Amino acid sequence: MESVEYKCPNCNADLKFNPANQKLECEYCLSSFTVDEIKKLCATTENSIPQEAVQLQEDFANHTHLYRCKSCGAEIMADDQLTATFCYYCHNPVILAGKMGGEFKPDKVIGFKLTRENAISCFKKWVGKRWFVPKDFKSQQQLEKLTGLYVPFWLADCHVNVDVRAVGKKLRHWVSGNYSYTETKEFRVVRSGTMVTRGIPADGETKIEDLLMEAIEPYDYRELKDFSMSYLSGFYADKYDVDKAAVFPRIRIRSNQACSALVRSTISGYSSYIPSNENYTITNTDWSYTLLPVWFMSYKYKDRIYEFAINGQTGKLAGTPPLSKGRLGALCGAIGMGVAAVIMVLGGALF
């Protein structure tokens, strides 16, 4: 007897048939599809991996090494020329762990455009505005920790069915004699159709804070290239440890936010707007596993790791600067004492 497995079009996890609603459901990303929808989608899906793709995966596996940090468990991917020195997350030495599996071969890559000098310049400019960072945070030694890193990202193109229904009210006021009049016009507002959010990225790396990676977006996808090991030369790279099923909830939230914002931008001129139905259903998701360039730096201060990232393509910087509470406290204390002294003098308490 032949066994048939259907994969979720959004996250590629197994779909299970739910007799209650007669739909195939994904337990990971909570998508659901009718049997007809799945049949249509599967008809366009290629079932076998082409021979060239298998060859590429083998090449990737043979020329890529995996380094593992014994301290924090981070896994770092590098080409066979690289001698790994330290973990860029926790700054402990890393050791060679083995070959990288072919399933981690990325589809696309954006090469670094920002040189190390440019990245340092961006960082210096950013940190220059912050007076209360610890002194050694600005040191040359710290700047040397700036690491060029290819971060694994899942890029998702989400096909979204939109169905929004609402009641909008327009009010008009006027006064005549001793009476004030209000005219209320109620409109049935309907927005339905399809939208495609393209290239919403989600990093597939648990070690890096998701918000940090979201903060250095966007990347210019016009510069996406097919992956080649040559891009890794001179830089570090991570392999994903979060699969697309796990990042899909994040993607779905951002896709829905984008669609919702656009729909709302088309509804204007109303004094009030009461939605009765707002459905954004992702019917299909196209994935691309991509390496994106990030200049990355971590800084350990008082038992806490502070992470900084600079978009290796655009130079956009994000991160939480460490705060030297002692220095800030001393300055605030001095200002507070100054204020108190002025009040005492003006109030006549000192003489």
CA–CA separation, 110 vs 75, rounded Å? 21
Please report whether residue 182 would count as binding other proteins according to CB under 8 A: yes
Nearer to other proteins, 116 or 316 (CB): 316
Q: Are 298 and 305 in contact (CB under 8 A)?
A: yes
Please report whether residue 95 would count as binding other proteins according to CB under 8 A: no
Query: Which positions from 213 through 232 interact with other proteins, judged by CB under 8 A?
Result: 214-218
Min dist. Cβ of residue 19 to other proteins (A): 31
Closest of 337, 197, 167, 343 to residue 260, by C-alpha: 197
Nearer to other proteins, 97 or 212 (CB): 212
Closest of 237, 228, 227, 234 to residue 78, by C-alpha: 237
Nearer to other proteins, 30 or 262 (CB): 262
Residue 235 tokens, joined = 């830089």
CA–CA separation, 75 vs 137, rounded Å? 26
Please state whether 30 falls in left (phi above 0), alpha (psi between -120 and 50) or beta.
Answer: left
Parallel/antiparallel/unpaired status of strands 94-99 and 64-69: antiparallel
Nearer to other proteins, 58 or 186 (CB): 186
Please report whether residue 210 would count as binding other proteins according to CB under 8 A: no
The 10 Å Cβ neighbour count of residue 192 is: 12
Which of these segments, 84-92, 105-113, 274-282, 343-351, binds other proteins (CB under 8 A)? Answer: 343-351
Q: How many residues belong to the chain?
A: 351
Peptide bond just before 201 cis, omega within 30 deg? no
Q: Give the number of residues in contact with other proteins, rule: CB under 8 A.
A: 70
Query: Which of 257, 276, 277, 279 is in the footprint of other proteins by CB under 8 A?
Result: 257
Query: Which of 39, 130, 225, 300 is in the footprint of other proteins by CB under 8 A?
Result: 130
Min dist. Cβ of residue 194 to other proteins (A): 5
Please report whether residue 273 would count as binding other proteins according to CB under 8 A: no
The DSSP secondary-structure symbol of 269 reads: S
Please report whether residue 134 would count as binding other proteins according to CB under 8 A: no
Nearer to other proteins, 96 or 340 (CB): 340
Please report whether residue 319 would count as binding other proteins according to CB under 8 A: yes
Min dist. Cβ of residue 296 to other proteins (A): 15
Please report whether residue 183 would count as binding other proteins according to CB under 8 A: yes
> Which residues, other chains included, contact 121 with Cβ-Cβ below 8 Å and sequence gap of 6+?
none
Q: What dihedral do alpha carbons 287, 293, 294, 295 form, nearest 10°?
A: 170
CA–CA separation, 242 vs 292, rounded Å? 16
Please report whether residue 42 would count as binding other proteins according to CB under 8 A: no
Closest of 64, 70, 63 to residue 95, by C-alpha: 70
Parallel/antiparallel/unpaired status of strands 15-18 and 23-26: antiparallel
Query: Which of 29, 189, 292, 294 is in the footprint of other proteins by CB under 8 A?
Result: 189
Min dist. Cβ of residue 98 to other proteins (A): 35
Residues making contact with other proteins (CB under 8 A): 130, 132, 167-168, 175, 178-200, 211-212, 214-218, 254-255, 257-259, 261-262, 266-267, 318-323, 328-329, 331-333, 335-344, 347-351
